Amino acid sequence: MKALQYLFIIINFLLLTSLKINKKESFYEERFVDLSELKNTYIKKTDDLILSLENLKKTEDFNSLKTGLSTIRLKYKGIEGFISYFSIDEAKFYINSAPLPRLEKNVPEINVIAPHGLQVLEELIYDKSPKKNINDEINVITKHLISINEYHKKINLEPRHVFEISRQSLIRTFTLGVSGFDSPCSSNGIKESMEVLKSIQDVTNSYVTTFKNSNNSKQITETLDKAILFLESNLDFNSFNRYQYLKKYILPLYKMIFEFQREIGVETIKEVSNFETAFNYNSESFFSKEFLNPIYFSNFEKSEFNQKSIELGKLLFFDPLLSNNNKRACASCHNPNMAFTDGHKKSIATNFDINSKRNAPTVIDAIFSDRFFYDLRSEKIEKQLDHVIKGKDDFHTSYELIFEKLKKSTEYTDYFINAYPDHIEDPINYFTFSTSLGAYVSSLVSFNSPFDKSLLKESSDLESNEINGFNIFMGKGMCATCHFPPTFSGLVPPYYNENESEVIGVPYTIKAKEIDKDFGRALNGIPGEMSEIYKNSFKTVGLRNVAYTAPYMHNGVYNTLDEVMDFYNNGGGIGHGIDVPNQTLPFDSLNLNEDEIKDVIAFMQTLSDTIGLTSKPNKLPNISDSTLNYRIVGGEY
């Protein structure tokens, strides 16, 4: 009898499991509804864009050209998410490239490549360039659009692509769209953002309608509708409230779309790929501490970025044992009491009597960069150490000499063994040393500023002058066209895997009509970058904690943020009468008044956050050589 009961239970269990599996399979199939139709719609829209560009070649009147271009850009914004997702490089270099020349990569000689795309076309039309030049640019764009469209016909549009395209589009339209980066001449970023949101409606529609009873689905529909209405009602570029747009619409949508994806069981990129990306797709906000991925920007593995390696790196960072005279530490130029800067125009060199070549930038958030130093000469944070350790103005020593001293400490040896048990036979080596310092610097992340906190749904807004400052920063002031959110540095959205450098014409002294003699990126030691386009070009550094990091610029020429704002407000070097033939900063005046400048500074001050980052070790490990046990935590100078 019991055997029959057990058999009955097993049969029922198998039957229920089968029903669940069938239900899951049916549910899975439902998620593919209309994706082929969605893909075909994008193909047709791309064909329509190509036709519109061809028709623009027949237009002669410049006012009509401007109107036609405006329509074309709106059409492009409706399909940009799709094109940029599947054809990253072609979209970046030939469809909507920033109007700046670039160098061809991985070639034996320096080859400067002219920019192409809709931004270049906009400049040509607004500058009333010869019609042949305009038509030539149209031909380049259409040629690549045709190529892209042929490729896209062959791709397989997967469920996760819908959600990734949508979230990527939200980042792009806020950081590059409403900032004016995309359309500097026409200032049509608000209208174009409307088209982006409408495209997100189109992309997500198949899922929103299929799962219309989902609370996330309802919220997405409602928030997109409200966001589009908000844009329609606030089309003026200069007065547009980007802060409210970000807090009420962009960030909530970014979170909702991800929650909806998880709710209906659509896999994420993290579930199908082991490759590290610059950003964490699973982050609910692109202003959260978890959004950018420090592992991507370093050479170490995720398992090696742990509390033990960080603590060891912290000891090394504050230990002057790393320098040739045992008096100078990393913290000498990167003092935690000054947001990891040193307060000097140019840092004091190793021999005391001269200064180094450049100003010391903060190392807070420094990890979020694909290139390091002002001249971008180092590709990974661990490699950056090579220049500091061997540099005659820095530590002026070698790894061998450092390791020799470290190995005289049983305490240090134990720290290395505990952090790297796989290296027990030779615990103090280049890998463990550089990884530890890299891990500590990677831990110095500041995304808990008053500004960041204010973006949380339940938090109070910033003060009105700070909000106005943010809106000017992101709009009229054009600051965000180089200092991109969320790092407010040259780390370019929406992929965050590349840093920009700019030629802004920084003077030799505050009153000089002569550019600083430092050639910057053009002489960074990388043969392939010794080009005129990089002469006096410097990395666009982050503005988080900028209130604490004076003096400013690579040479420390400006002592206050007011002086910095005056420099930018009047058009950089050229605007101040300096000869800068390759300046990349727009050289016309921003026409910001005194109150607007104060508000921008008030906003930048809300980016301050050093809480929990500035502690120092209480003591340094003992060394068997007693003469070295009197060294000072953080160094003597």
HEC letters along 9-36:
HHHHHHHHHHHHHHHHHHHHHHCCCCHH
Place of tokens 């407010």: 488
The DSSP H or E segment spanning 501 is strand 501-502
Contact 138, 57 (CB under 8 A): yes
Place of tokens 């059409």: 75
User: What's the chain's average pLDDT?
Assistant: 93
The DSSP H or E segment spanning 538 is strand 538-539
What is the CB-side half-sphere exposure of residue 317 using CA atoms within 13 A?
A: 28
Residue 621: per-residue pLDDT: 98
Residue 359: per-residue pLDDT: 97
Residue 543: per-residue pLDDT: 98
Residue 31: per-residue pLDDT: 47
Tell me the C-alpha distance between 581 and 599, whole Å: 32
Tell me the C-alpha distance between 504 and 377, whole Å: 19
Positions of E strands within 73-227: 102-103, 112-113
Nearest Cα residue to 182 out of 71, 62, 285, 95: 95
Q: Is 173 exposed, middle or buried (0-12, 13-18, 19+ CB in 10 A)?
A: buried
Nearest Cα residue to 306 out of 220, 418, 194: 418
Q: What share of the chain is helix, strand, coil (3-state, %, to 5)?
A: 50, 5, 45
Tokens of 602: 């008030």
Contact 199, 78 (CB under 8 A): yes
> Which backbone phi and psi does 509 adopt, to 5 degrees?
-130, 170
Model confidence, pTM: 0.93
Residue 356: per-residue pLDDT: 86
* Domain chopping of the chain, boundaries: 1-30, 34-157, 158-264, 302-446, 450-605
Tell me the C-alpha distance between 72 and 66, whole Å: 10
Residue 5: per-residue pLDDT: 53
Nearest Cα residue to 382 out of 437, 427, 445: 437
Check residue 523 and report its DSSP letter.
G
Q: Is 52 exposed, middle or buried (0-12, 13-18, 19+ CB in 10 A)?
A: middle
In the CATH hierarchy, which top-level class contains the domain 450-605? mainly alpha
Tell me the C-alpha distance between 610 and 206, whole Å: 45
Largest CA distance in the chain: 102
Residue 33: per-residue pLDDT: 59
User: CATH number for the 302-446 domain, one of 1.10.760.10, 3.40.50.620, 3.40.50.300, 1.10.287.110?
Assistant: 1.10.760.10
Contact 568, 388 (CB under 8 A): no
Evaluate the omega torsion of the peptide bond into residue 551 and state whether it is cis, within 30 degrees of 0. yes
Q: Is 544 exposed, middle or buried (0-12, 13-18, 19+ CB in 10 A)?
A: buried
Tokens of 322: 């790393």
CB-CB neighbours of 37 under 10 Å: 10
Tokens of 239: 């007065």
**Pair type for strands 501-502 and 538-539:** antiparallel
What's the distance, Cα to Cα, between the start and end of the chain in Å?
88
CA 383-389-393 angle, to 5 degrees, is 120
Q: Is 416 exposed, middle or buried (0-12, 13-18, 19+ CB in 10 A)?
A: buried
CA 472-474-476 angle, to 5 degrees, is 45
Tell me the C-alpha distance between 375 and 543, whole Å: 18
* β partners of residue 113: 102
Place of tokens 């991925």: 293
Tell me the C-alpha distance between 370 and 299, whole Å: 11
Check residue 336 and report its DSSP letter.
G
Place of tokens 């469809």: 95
**Which residues, other chains included, contact 566 with Cβ-Cβ below 8 Å and sequence gap of 6+?**
597
Contact 328, 395 (CB under 8 A): yes
Tell me the C-alpha distance between 92 and 145, whole Å: 12
Same fold, 302-446 and 450-605: yes
Contact 523, 375 (CB under 8 A): yes
Handedness of CA 602, 607, 610, 611 (dihedral sign): positive
Check residue 498 and report its DSSP letter.
-
Q: Is 633 exposed, middle or buried (0-12, 13-18, 19+ CB in 10 A)?
A: middle
Residue 615: per-residue pLDDT: 97
> Which residues of the chain fall below pLDDT 70?
1-34, 352-353
